[in-house]
Structure 1
Amino acid sequence: MLMIIDRTSEWKKGLVERLEDREPWGNWTLYKMSYEVAQSNLITDFHGLQCPKYLPDLKPLPHQLEAAETVIERMNGKAILADEVGLGKTIEAGLILKEYLIRGLVKKALILVPSSLVNQWVDEMNRKFHIPAIPYRKNYDLNHCQIVVMSMDMAKRSPHKENIYAQNFDLIIIDEAHKLKNHKTKNYEFVQHLKKKFCLLLTATPIQNNVQELFYLITLLKPGHLGNYETFQSLFSSGEYHVDQEEFLRELVNQVMVRNRRQDTGIEWTNRHVQILPIDFTPEEKEVYDLISELKQVSPDFSDAFSTMTLQREMCSSKEAVYVTLEKMREKSIKPEDVAYMDRIIEKMSALDINSKAEKAYEIITQANNKVILFTEYRASQIYLQWYLHKKGITSVLFNGKFSKSKRDWMKQLFKDRAQVLIATESGSEGINLQFCHHVINYDLPWNPMKLEQRIGRVHRLGQTQDVHIYNLAIQDTIEDHILDLLYKKIGVFEQVVGELDDILSAYKETI
């Protein structure tokens, strides 16, 4: 108990006034009541959480309470919350913030999130934790805002950036922290310069593509914890380090990272059934694919490897996606032979009347006979697939990052109430919870396995009552074979450093 000794003599004046009956004495009963209230609010032991007793409407799960306690007691409020998707990292962050508020260690906090999640965070902090968080508006004075939720996109732009830099925050919370990537990005540079006492980085996927990304996240929290970059790179970036080095790195990481897996929570989870479904192009589709693959040889000055790879991936999705890119390339071309070759590709594409991958997707949707989320990488493929499914009598709605917040919410509601299929681009794998659905088709495979985990996590999360079925489509003898190989390698790196993942790819199977 902290005792404050007042060395002034002001008390004498008050005592004399009361002794001479010029001022009334204080009420003894009220004094005792005030004393008892103050005594009951004293926190005499720093171990254990105080906040649950102030949250009568929230019933945190054991792993969430343990995570919050670990961050506060062992990690000094600087941590990566890296639970698997759907285990409640937002709840853990809310518990930590509430605990620090109660203890008086945090008075000013900034929560940085993707723009689509601002209202969701504000609602959860207010409704579940009784924390008076507000969404930031352009005319707000941050000097008078205690708990602010702001989109990262807005925060890093002037004049908001300069206003934020002028503040001294007790706690910074960053959702989807994997988007910070490394020191070369604007997001990372912005966060690096924030004044903060405590910091929480929330991400189910702290390694997206390589182990250097984890180095930079940890450096934000504790500079020097993993040594300097050159030493770290020489030891761990090759992917060929020894077992003792791997264990040493994991031990260092675990000092700043809390990661709960579904199977370790004691909760009974529904099963996850994952398949890779190989697809064969028709001879006509393969001919177009081969023409695209030869584009670099035909015109080495015009086409680079990246452009060719992009067109190959698009061809594995839909001819509509290829056409959009090819038309842009054609407009920029100045060589008649380049234009003629691309016209030949377009002519061959126009004659295609079958999309083998779309047919497989339709087969899955028909057999599922239930709601299905279908993820594609391209908006042109989105539109095509909606037309294709409509022609087959399947109702669907689109979902992509170009939609406003209100339209995204409306599409989600239409999917829940009326449509059988939600056709989403990558933005659909972030920030929406769709436990009422339990079929996911990865129509296009991403380069990054963590994006697959994010997609699956939209449905395989707390509240899911059915087994979840995941279908990964891959066209054989194309660039998608290479993507699969790369995905497996990246999963290996993640599991070496962070820990095991739930199944997201599985092995090849010929039938559904």
Structure 2
Amino acid sequence: MSSEWQNGFLDRLQQHTKWDSWTLYKMNYEITKMQLIPDFTELQAPKYLPQLQPLAHQVEAAETVINRMNGKAILADEVGLGKTIEAGLILKEYLLRGLVKRALILAPASLINQWIEELTMKFHIPATAYKKNVQIERHDVLIMSMDTAKKSPHRERIYAQDYDIIIIDEAHRLKNHKTQVYDFVQGLKKKFCLLLTATPIQNDILEIFYLISLLKPGHLGNYEAFQATFSTNEHADFLKDLVNQVMVRNRRDDTGIEWTSRRVQIVPVQFTEAEREVYDMLSTLEITEPFLRMTLQKEMCSSKEATALTLTKMLDAGVQVEALLNKVMALDVNAKAEKAVEIIEQAKDKVILFTEYRASQLYLQWYLHTKGITSVLFNGKFNKSKRDYMKQLFRDRAQVLIATEAGGEGINLQFCHHVINYDLPWNPMKLEQRIGRVHRLGQEHDVHIYNLAIVNTIEERILERLHTKIDVFEQVIGDLDAILTNLKGAGNHAFTANSSVFTSILSGE
């Protein structure tokens, strides 16, 4: 044992020197005082983040997860309300309290750099992006893509680590329990776990069962019990209460922030006679796969280019569709594209146009060019650098961004406030994700949404299905901002009500 303290004590005693420095004592006192947590329910993280000014709903969400949900929760705020900030606050708080030392964040590959920047710049949390040569045991906060994590040998390397908290962004990608990524996440040890998604239900009620089963197995019972109890709307309120025990959801109306309005409308489109003839031929085509017929119908509602691509593949497979393919390629008018141009010219501003098909994307860029309208493309084939470049071109030079579904996630475009849903998806939450690219914090203008739908086609069925799925979402999760029309309160007959609107618009009433 060192005797240094004893020698110092005797020296002070014999020489009558000062026992200690009052300045050093006060400094030590202040440091100790700062480290104390007088109220365990109060967040300490904001005190250490002077450059971050979290909003009230973000702080409240973090407090709720830590104090009431024991660090296992779905963060389900509407798109654009700052779920990443809430997750960052929770992670920082647990790091400060010593309850978390190591964290694993799983996100789509396109969002990894965004997570690195957020954690480093806003929360002063050094985070590392996973690469093959990264020694993961040396990094306390690791960020990697879900697609990489689920595969060997990465899967086994992750399983060999002890992470205190798992954070999963865009967690609605785990909706299918039969996928490799769901199986991977289920096998992770989860002391604390955050699932981030604005759309915890996308198609049916079972998706929320499987998400919550990742967080708290048994919270909603087993599969059979859940099916027996909640397959009808009879116990919807009970299910909503159970879900709210593990989910934090803030809506724009709940934040106290003055939001710009959403002005949403369905824009009916009439096929030309030639287009209608081809559509009817596709609808009566003798094929054994109903899904293939639906695909052709949807593609015909988008562009002849998308339709021709599928027909060509069928022809190569030996299906006799050469005459039909020739008829498709002979079409010289696209009524929906004409309507899109009409909207773009009336907007006289920047517009995002969403299509489901890359063939339609290329056609639309060519067609807009013939009308003197500048545009850039955005799709899932672009790497991050090209995505960033396209975003910059759109902001600085082009009037229109033509995006496939890849543009519905991970890109913030508040400088734009016009969105054309050129092709309607079957999933209403994809519409919400698309709109959320522009209707989010920082948007200074009312947002205009145009949902194009061709009359008397499969797109009317899609509208009906979208309304049904929205009803399911609202019964279990809560109200949803307008994504199809601004007509709320149509109840279970939303499509019937909407169809009359559809008809009145067509008749000019």
Asked if TM exceeds 0.5, the reply is yes
Q: Which residue of 1 aligns with 2:488?
A: none
Residue 456 in structure 1 maps to residue 446 in structure 2: no
| Runs of 5+ consecutive residues of structure 2 not aligned to the other structure | 486-497
Choose from 291, 294, 304 the match for 1:319: 304
Aligned 1:191-202 pairs, distance under 5 A: 191-202=185-196
TM-score w.r.t. structure 2 length?
0.92
Aligned 1:98-177 pairs, distance under 5 A: 98-177=92-171
Residue 66 in structure 1 maps to residue 60 in structure 2: yes
For the 8 Å contact 2:103–2:164, the answer to whether it is kept is yes
3-state SS of 2:268 partner: strand
Residue 305 in structure 1 maps to residue 326 in structure 2: no
Residue 274 in structure 1 maps to residue 264 in structure 2: yes
Question: Cα gap change, 1:48/1:280 in structure 2, threshold over 3 Å: closer, same or farther?
Answer: same
Q: Which residue of 2 aligns with 1:4?
A: none
- Give me the CA root mean square deviation: 1.9
Give me the whole-angstrom Cα distance separating, in 2, the residues matched to 1:474 and 1:235: 37
> Aligned-pair distance for 1:446?
0.2
> Aligned-pair distance for 1:184?
0.5
For the 8 Å contact 2:263–2:448, the answer to whether it is kept is yes
Q: Which residue of 2 aligns with 1:283?
A: 273
Percent identical residues: 68
Residue 28 in structure 1 maps to residue 32 in structure 2: no
For the 8 Å contact 2:43–2:63, the answer to whether it is kept is yes
> Aligned-pair distance for 1:34?
3.4
For the 8 Å contact 1:435–1:458, the answer to whether it is kept is yes
> What is the letter of the counterpart of residue 321 of structure 1?
A
> Aligned-pair distance for 1:45?
2.4
TM-score w.r.t. structure 1 length?
0.92
Q: Which residue of 2 aligns with 1:5?
A: none
> Aligned-pair distance for 1:203?
0.2
Question: Cα gap change, 1:27/1:394 in structure 2, threshold over 3 Å: closer, same or farther?
Answer: farther
Residue 241 in structure 1 maps to residue 233 in structure 2: yes
> What is the letter of the counterpart of residue 299 of structure 2?
E
For the 8 Å contact 1:442–1:473, the answer to whether it is kept is yes
Q: Which residue of 2 aligns with 1:485?
A: 464
Residue 437 in structure 1 maps to residue 416 in structure 2: yes
For the 8 Å contact 1:83–1:259, the answer to whether it is kept is yes
Q: Deviations over 1:314-355 (max 9, x none)?
A: 00000000111111111112xxxx42xx11111211221100
Give me the whole-angstrom Cα distance separating, in 2, the residues matched to 1:273 and 1:98: 38
Give me the whole-angstrom Cα distance separating, in 1, the residues matched to 2:73 and 2:19: 48
> Aligned-pair distance for 1:247?
1.1
Q: Which residue of 1 aligns with 2:495?
A: none
Structure 1 stretch 385-394 or stretch 182-191: which is displaced more? Answer: 182-191
Q: Deviations over 1:103-160 (max 9, x none)?
A: 1111100111110010011001111111111212211111110011111111112211
Q: Deviations over 1:238-259 (max 9, x none)?
A: xx321xx111111100000000
Question: Cα gap change, 1:140/1:365 in structure 2, threshold over 3 Å: closer, same or farther?
Answer: same
Q: Deviations over 1:294-323 (max 9, x none)?
A: 113xxx4xx400111111100000000011
Give me the whole-angstrom Cα distance separating, in 2, the residues matched to 1:53 and 1:77: 20
> Aligned-pair distance for 1:32?
6.1
For the 8 Å contact 1:226–1:252, the answer to whether it is kept is yes
> Aligned-pair distance for 1:48?
1.1
3-state SS of 2:267 partner: strand
Question: Cα gap change, 1:360/1:44 in structure 2, threshold over 3 Å: closer, same or farther?
Answer: same
Give me the whole-angstrom Cα distance separating, in 2, the residues matched to 1:40 and 1:57: 18
Give me the whole-angstrom Cα distance separating, in 2, the residues matched to 1:343 and 1:221: 52
3-state SS of 2:217 partner: coil
For the 8 Å contact 1:168–1:196, the answer to whether it is kept is no
Q: How many residues align?
A: 486
Give me the whole-angstrom Cα distance separating, in 1, the residues matched to 2:9 and 2:420: 84
Give me the whole-angstrom Cα distance separating, in 2, the residues matched to 1:271 and 1:280: 29
Q: Deviations over 1:260-305 (max 9, x none)?
A: 0001111000010011111111111011111111113xxx4xx400
> Aligned-pair distance for 1:26?
11
For the 8 Å contact 1:235–1:241, the answer to whether it is kept is no
For the 8 Å contact 1:376–1:426, the answer to whether it is kept is yes
Q: Which residue of 1 aligns with 2:489?
A: none
3-state SS of 2:66 partner: helix
Q: Which residue of 1 aligns with 2:362?
A: 383
For the 8 Å contact 1:125–1:131, the answer to whether it is kept is yes
Q: Deviations over 1:453-488 (max 9, x none)?
A: 000000000100010000000111111111111000
> Aligned-pair distance for 1:195?
1.6
Give me the whole-angstrom Cα distance separating, in 1, the residues matched to 2:99 and 2:347: 52
For the 8 Å contact 2:308–2:329, the answer to whether it is kept is no
For the 8 Å contact 2:296–2:310, the answer to whether it is kept is yes
> Aligned-pair distance for 1:36?
4.3
> Aligned-pair distance for 1:409?
0.6
Q: Which residue of 1 aligns with 2:446?
A: 467
Aligned 1:368-407 pairs, distance under 5 A: 368-407=347-386
3-state SS of 2:410 partner: coil
Q: Which residue of 1 aligns with 2:316?
A: 331
Residue 207 in structure 1 maps to residue 201 in structure 2: yes
Residue 49 in structure 1 maps to residue 9 in structure 2: no
> Aligned-pair distance for 1:489?
0.3
Q: Deviations over 1:198-221 (max 9, x none)?
A: 000000000010010001111111
Structure 1 stretch 133-142 or stretch 250-259: which is displaced more? Answer: 133-142
Give me the whole-angstrom Cα distance separating, in 1, the residues matched to 2:205 and 2:365: 38
Q: Which residue of 2 aligns with 1:7?
A: none
3-state SS of 1:295 partner: coil
Give me the whole-angstrom Cα distance separating, in 2, the residues matched to 1:288 and 1:26: 99
Q: Deviations over 1:361-402 (max 9, x none)?
A: 010001011000000000000000000000010000000000
3-state SS of 1:28 partner: coil
> What is the letter of the counterpart of residue 42 of structure 1?
L
